[in-house]
Amino acid sequence: MRSRAEITKKHTVAYAKADKKTKGLIPDQACAATGWSRANARRRLTVAGA
């Protein structure tokens, strides 16, 4: 498994550019890869993109 930082970095770019429908799917992918809760994944993707 890749580190969580690498996974977050990969998904952050896609999350920032995504439309609303896709933004609902990206945290699910991050959850599956890292074991985070959905709320935590969304929070981390948002903060990492700022």
User: Would you give per-residue pLDDT tens digits along the chain (50 residues)?
Assistant: 568 888 888 889 889 899 999 999 999 998 998 899 999 999 998 888 77
Q: Structurally, how many domains does the chain consist of? A: 1
| Residue type for position 5 | A
| Residue 6 exposure: Cα atoms within 13 Å on the Cβ side | 4
Rama region for 19: left / alpha / beta (φ>0; ψ in -120 to 50; rest): beta
Domain that holds residue 14: 4-49
DSSP E strands in 10-50: the ranges are none
Record the pTM: 0.74
What does the pLDDT read at residue 36? Answer: 92
| Residue type for position 27 | P
